[in-house]
């Protein structure tokens, strides 16, 4: 692999020149800007883990295309064991970073695109599958980070892509030449976009023949001409931007995944990197498979975050002298219970995985949707319990500037002290960590990442096999089957 370590990864980003704006200013170096550096460090952990003896078997895989050792984040799942190892890896990364490490969207896009490109070619023989494999081998050999770009702005959501007053509300092909295509539009909420190497563009929804120009999947460098990124704001990001070491809560890593808008202003993509162009009947499969893979992930990475929160409130209870209280133990037990229940959901949809016609393995889609739907409840309940146990001081703490002030710093140390012998600074730091991990941006991402709760409920109902369940009930009740009228 060309990029073998966290430092290699950071150096590789310095060689790129993407157009990135944040708060009205251009970011020249994502590894140095206080706004983006914490997100770079979180993604770098995916590279670092591969060099740790205890995690190497999770972080690395063997490419079925070349037989070479590659990062699991560039691997196409070949069996259930691959799916389960992914889950275990993501939980560890959540524990190590306490945030989003950003490579999952591209990872899931790779797996969805691989299987769908194969099926397109089985029907239409477009050469997409061979193109995709050639691109993927390069991604694997160089160990590049790929941002999956799926979510379009959507404009007037009562209208489809081809019905929009502004056609750019969904990314689309505006020109085809002998050498490639030209695309225009935008993708929103793109996790890890500013510190990736390549963009994998995918359609955002199922489409019909009227939207052929919108049924496009392709790959391009993040610094391709015509690509502009606008980095999003987060709760308390001024603390991060000022490099506050305590009040930021997690100074080493970002609160979430460093999401950005990616604008494509007549961007050229050569045919060799085009994997779908107009095959609308396959857009549903691509979106569906991507969503299932991504929803399965959330039961792993969010469990890692919930582990951190559980540890944080447990230590805070020790600092505050309340750890032996029965109500504290009961609430911590509930946090553990919810975390492990969610983790088991992620393991289950992986263990029930099955091969697609391409040979790439898919998670069980029903269980993947159940998994993500549980995230939208369990993570919030764990956060609620963490805030409950922490107490109101995490919302009213004086700043670290006051803590260090000669006039009032000693007063903070005096009146925020707890159990004798434990540093008051520990209490302040752990309180800020809990604040950062239960704040607005972190929880919104947990709710809407990989699709909103309603998206999962639609799929759960659709895959609920209700007719089969009706037959179970009829058979037990002695009701004969009849043709529906």
- Catalytic (active site) residue 218: no
Read off the tokens for 200: 């994998």
- Catalytic (active site) residue 381: no
- Catalytic (active site) residue 373: no
Banded model confidence at residue 483, pLDDT cuts 50, 70, 90: low
End-to-end CA distance of the chain: 61
Check residue 143 and give left, alpha or beta (phi > 0: left; psi -120 to 50: alpha). Answer: left
Whole-number percent of the chain with pLDDT over 70:
99
Banded model confidence at residue 100, pLDDT cuts 50, 70, 90: very high
Whether the CB-CB separation of 227 and 73 falls below 8 Å is answered with no
Whole-number pLDDT of residue 433: 97
Q: Which CATH architecture has domain 286-471?
A: Up-down Bundle (1.20)
Domain boundaries, the chain: 286-471
Measure the CA–CA gap between 393 and 96, rounded to whole angstroms.
Answer: 26
Which member of 104, 218, 349, 371 is catalytic? 104
Whole-number pLDDT of residue 190: 96
pLDDT value at 485 more than 60: no
Q: Which residue's structure tokens are 């007063």?
A: 411
Whole-number pLDDT of residue 326: 98
Distance of CA 211 to the CA centre of its chain: 28
Which member of 189, 294, 373, 379 is catalytic? 294
Which member of 197, 280, 301, 343 is catalytic? 301
Distance of CA 147 to the CA centre of its chain: 10
Measure the CA–CA gap between 164 and 69, rounded to whole angstroms.
Answer: 46
**What is the mean pLDDT of the segment spanning 221-250?**
95
- Residues at the binding site for FAD are 191
Measure the CA–CA gap between 201 and 215, rounded to whole angstroms.
Answer: 10
pLDDT in tens, 308-339: 999 999 999 999 999 999 999 999 999 999 99
- Residues at the binding site are 191
**What is the mean pLDDT of the segment spanning 40-63?**
96
pTM of the model: 0.95
What phi, psi does 216 have (nearest 5°)? Answer: -130, 135
Whole-number pLDDT of residue 484: 60
Helix (H, G, I), strand (E, B) or coil at 16: coil
pLDDT in tens, 288-298: 999 999 999 99
- Catalytic (active site) residue 406: no
- Catalytic (active site) residue 281: no
Whole-number pLDDT of residue 399: 96
Q: What is the DSSP letter of 315?
A: H
- Catalytic (active site) residue 298: yes
Whole-number pLDDT of residue 482: 80
Which member of 100, 218, 349, 371 is catalytic? 100
Measure the CA–CA gap between 455 and 365, rounded to whole angstroms.
Answer: 13
Which member of 198, 244, 259, 400 is catalytic? 259
pLDDT value at 421 more than 60: yes
Strands 146-149 and 198-201: parallel
Helix (H, G, I), strand (E, B) or coil at 478: coil
Task: Return the ∠ at Cα 396 (arms to 377 and 378), rounded to 5°.
Answer: 10
**What is the mean pLDDT of the segment spanning 145-151?**
97
């Amino acid at each position: 692999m060309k990029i073998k370590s966290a430092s290699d990864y950071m150096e590789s980003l310095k060689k790129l020149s993407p157009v990135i704006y944040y708060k009205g200013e251009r970011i020249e170096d994502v590894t140095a800007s206080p706004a983006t550096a914490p997100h770079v460090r979180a993604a770098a952990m995916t590279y670092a883990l591969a060099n740790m003896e205890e995690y190497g078997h999770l972080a690395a895989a063997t490419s079925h295309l070349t037989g070479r050792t590659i990062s699991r984040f560039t691997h196409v799942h070949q069996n259930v064991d691959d799916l389960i190892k992914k889950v275990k890896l993501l939980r560890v990364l959540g524990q190590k970073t306490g945030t989003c490490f950003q490579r999952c969207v591209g990872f899931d896009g790779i797996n969805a695109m691989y299987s769908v490109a194969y099926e397109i070619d089985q029907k239409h023989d477009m050469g997409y599958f061979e193109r995709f494999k050639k691109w993927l081998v390069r991604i694997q050999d160089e160990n590049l980070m790929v941002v999956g770009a799926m979510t379009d702005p959507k404009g007037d959501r009562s209208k489809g892509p081809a019905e929009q007053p502004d056609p750019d509300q969904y990314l689309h092909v505006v020109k085809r030449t002998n050498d490639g295509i030209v695309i225009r539009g935008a993708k929103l909420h793109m996790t890890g976009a500013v510190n990736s190497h390549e963009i994998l563009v995918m359609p955002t929804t199922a489409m019909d023949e009227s939207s052929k120009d919108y049924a496009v999947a392709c790959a391009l460098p993040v610094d391709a001409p015509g690509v502009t990124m606008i980095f999003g704001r987060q709760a308390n990001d001024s603390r991060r931007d000022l490099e506050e070491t305590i009040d930021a809560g997690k100074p080493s890593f970002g609160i979430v995944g460093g999401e950005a808008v990616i604008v494509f202003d007549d961007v050229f993509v050569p045919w060799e990197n085009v994997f779908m162009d107009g095959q609308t009947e396959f857009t549903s499969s691509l979106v569906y498979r991507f969503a299932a893979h991504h929803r399965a992930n959330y039961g792993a990475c969010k469990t890692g975050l919930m582990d951190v929160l559980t540890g944080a409130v447990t230590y805070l209870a020790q600092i505050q002298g309340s750890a032996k209280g029965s109500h504290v133990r009961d609430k911590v037990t509930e946090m553990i219970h919810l975390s492990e229940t969610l983790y088991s959901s992620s393991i289950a949809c992986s263990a029930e995985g099955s091969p697609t016609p391409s040979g790439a393995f898919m998670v069980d889609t029903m269980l993947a949707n159940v998994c993500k739907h549980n995230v939208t409840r369990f993570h919030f309940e764990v956060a609620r319990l963490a805030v409950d146990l922490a107490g109101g001081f995490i919302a009213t703490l004086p700043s670290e500037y006051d803590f260090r002030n000669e006039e009032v710093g000693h007063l903070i140390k005096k009146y925020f002290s707890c159990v004798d012998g434990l540093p008051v600074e520990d209490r302040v730091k752990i309180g800020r960590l809990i604040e950062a991990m239960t704040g607005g941006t972190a929880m919104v991402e947990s709710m809407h990442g990989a699709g909103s709760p309603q998206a999962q409920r639609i799929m759960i109902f659709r895959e609920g096999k209700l007719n089969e369940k009706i037959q179970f009930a009829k058979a037990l009740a002695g009701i004969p089957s009849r043709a529906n009228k």
